[in-house]
């Protein structure tokens, strides 16, 4: 009879590991699972009671306002299930407690139920990587933010998940094991780096505002920003879902089509990463520029000459990548940000025709004074965020076209300033700006920003990389001739 390794994943022989204690451990763990299952039911019924009906509606609006309505159906069962889970664990009631913390005050709970609730109330949503799948038992995960490993009991997960997958989940301790709190979001492994990059940048910003270290605020960050983290992962999941279109049907099937879509997504991810990198690079001292930042170097002829030498070398690298079929980057965008090239919307490549000057709000004919006030607010906001003149021009053009077509009436200009800033961030693929953050900044409702943005999209028929307003080069350039089907799919992606 052959010797086999223990299924617990220890790497030891079964007879030297869990064989002797299997029955005792299983019986004890079975009790915990049964108690945990019943406790979940009680907690769900408590949260769904009429006592919290008004707060549940407020929580639902806050959660959904962070999600793009074009990507997520508000009536989708999966979305509402995750929203309800967030309401129970993270939403703060007027009492200052969460639903689960309130539920813990029930004196009729047993000692074991109180033990479970203590662990559950402290559980935070986080980003996990699947390390191992144990058939028929569960999975081993690594928390990418807290650097810990967990073994999760979930038989279904062993069928659905593969090592390397990235999950956005909340784990609940049940005895000596962990369980998933609800259905989670899963992304392929290649999304890990860009997701971590975004999360860590947001976490550092959160820590700076509280004048504390990242380690000190991590728990609070995961609790307060869990719905925002969810929206970030949903949006990235939508981009990945394009690669699955071929599996759902269509006129063309096969690996070639899938490869082309995957290559397009890889290109978009590369652009997103390098956009963020160069946004910071232009304001960092560079030894090759005598310790000056690229932005400072642009102020002198010598500095500009050195920058051009650097760009020449970098462009040779990007050209080689493009010739090898690898994702590449358009360095003309960096030149425009530094003012080394003119920039403006509507020219296809982001360059402004020679002799044309950027307009100010005063150069436009506005249907009403309030429209001009919004335009000035948009210009001020975008300039403070570091948007270049071409991007500001695109925002003004966008707002003027909408005002001319719809002639909106309103009492609160701040709402439309937030809406136009958000619209421009979407056109420029700037994921640093969210509806929720703008709502806090301008003292308006995120749902109102979302409703206005949808109205603007419908009125102007906005699409991704809209050449009328965006300074970004569309990934469809030249694609209609080489791959008409893929171009048709991407060309109809609404904002």
For residues 227-252, one letter each, b for 16 or more C-beta atoms within 10 angstroms of the residue's C-beta and e for the rest, the string is bbbbbbbbebbebbebbeebeeeeee
Q: What is the pLDDT, as a whole number, of residue 239? A: 54
Q: What is the DSSP string of 340-357?
A: SS---TTSSSSPPPTT--
Tens-of-pLDDT digits for all 495 residues of the chain?
Answer: 445 556 555 566 655 655 444 444 578 888 999 999 999 999 999 998 889 989 998 998 888 888 766 556 555 677 888 889 999 999 999 999 999 999 999 999 999 999 999 999 999 999 999 999 988 788 999 999 988 999 998 877 777 778 988 899 999 999 989 999 987 778 888 778 888 888 888 899 999 999 999 999 999 999 999 988 888 887 776 555 444 433 343 443 444 444 544 565 566 667 777 877 888 888 889 888 888 999 998 888 888 888 888 888 888 888 777 777 778 888 888 888 887 764 444 444 434 433 345 688 888 889 888 899 999 999 999 988 888 888 899 999 999 999 988 888 888 889 999 999 999 988 887 777 888 889 889 988 887 888 888 888 888 888 777 778 888 765 555 555 555 555 555 455 445
Q: Which residues pair with 5 in a beta bridge?
A: 13
Q: What is the pLDDT, as a whole number, of residue 260? A: 47
Cα separation, 112 vs 119, whole angstroms: 11
How do the domains of the chain map onto residue ranges? Answer: 255-344, 345-495
Strands 185-187 and 166-169: antiparallel
Cα separation, 249 vs 243, whole angstroms: 12
Q: How many distinct helices (H) and strands (E) make up the chain?
A: 20, 7
What superfamily does domain 345-495 belong to in CATH? Cyclin-like (1.10.472.10)
CB 318 within 8 A of CB 328: yes
Distances (CA, A) of 489 to 21, 68, 117, 366, 476: 57, 19, 47, 36, 10
Q: What is the pLDDT, as a whole number, of residue 95? A: 94
Q: What is the pLDDT, as a whole number, of residue 268? A: 66
CB 211 within 8 A of CB 217: no
Phi, psi for 126 (deg, rounded to 5): -155, 175
CB 125 within 8 A of CB 230: yes
For residues 181-214, one letter each, b for 16 or more C-beta atoms within 10 angstroms of the residue's C-beta and e for the rest, the string is bbebbbbbeebbeebbebbeebbeebbeeeeeee
């Amino acid at each position: 009879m052959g010797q086999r390794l223990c299924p617990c994943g220890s790497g030891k022989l079964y007879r030297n590991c869990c064989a002797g204690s299997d029955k005792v451990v299983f019986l004890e763990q079975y009790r915990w699972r049964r108690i945990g299952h019943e406790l979940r039911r009680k907690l769900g019924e408590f949260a769904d009671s009429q006592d919290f009906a008004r707060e549940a509606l407020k929580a639902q609006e806050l959660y959904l306002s962070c999600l793009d309505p074009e990507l997520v159906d508000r009536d989708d069962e999966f979305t509402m299930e995750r929203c309800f889970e967030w309401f129970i664990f993270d939403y703060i009631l007027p009492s200052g407690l969460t639903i689960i913390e309130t539920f813990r005050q029930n004196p009729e709970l047993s000692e074991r139920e109180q033990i479970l609730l203590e662990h559950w109330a402290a559980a935070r949503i986080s980003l996990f990587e699947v390390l191992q799948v144990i058939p028929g038992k569960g999975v081993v995960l690594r928390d990418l933010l807290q650097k810990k490993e967990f073994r999760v009991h979930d038989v279904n997960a062993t069928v659905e998940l593969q090592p390397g997958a990235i999950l956005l989940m909340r784990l609940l301790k049940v005895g000596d094991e962990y369980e998933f709190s609800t259905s989670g979001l899963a992304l392929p492994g290649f999304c890990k780096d860009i997701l971590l990059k975004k999360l860590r940048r947001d976490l550092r910003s959160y820590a700076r505002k509280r004048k504390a270290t990242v380690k000190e605020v991590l728990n609070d960050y995961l609790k307060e920003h869990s719905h925002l983290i969810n929206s970030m992962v949903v949006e990235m999941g939508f981009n990945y879902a394009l690669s699955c279109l071929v599996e759902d049907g269509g006129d063309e099937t096969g690996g070639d089509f899938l490869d082309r879509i995957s290559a397009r997504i890889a290109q978009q991810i590369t652009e997103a990463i390098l956009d963020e990198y160069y946004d910071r690079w232009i304001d960092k001292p560079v030894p090759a520029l005598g310790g000056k930042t690229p932005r400072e170097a642009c102020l002198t002829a010598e500095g500009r000459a050195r920058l051009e030498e650097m760009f020449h070398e970098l462009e040779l690298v990007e050209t080689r990548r493009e010739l090898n079929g690898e994702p590449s980057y358009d360095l003309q965008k960096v030149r425009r940000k530094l003012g080394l090239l003119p920039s403006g919307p509507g020219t296809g490549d982001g360059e402004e025709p020679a002799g044309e000057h950027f307009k100010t709000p005063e150069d436009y004919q506005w249907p009403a004074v309030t429209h001009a006030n919004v335009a000035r607010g948009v210009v001020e906001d975008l300039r403070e965020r570091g948007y270049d003149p071409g991007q500001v021009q695109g925002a003004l053009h966008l707002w003027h076209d909408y005002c001319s077509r719809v002639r909106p009436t309103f009492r609160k200009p701040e709402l439309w300033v937030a809406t136009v800033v958000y619209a421009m961030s979407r056109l420029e693929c700037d994921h640093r700006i969210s509806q929720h953050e703008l709502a806090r900044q301008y003292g308006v409702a995120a749902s109102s920003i979302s409703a206005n943005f949808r109205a603007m999209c419908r009125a102007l028929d906005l699409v991704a990389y809209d050449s009328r307003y965006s300074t970004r080069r569309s990934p469809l350039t030249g694609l209609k001739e080489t791959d008409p089907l893929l171009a048709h799919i991407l060309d109809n992606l609404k904002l």
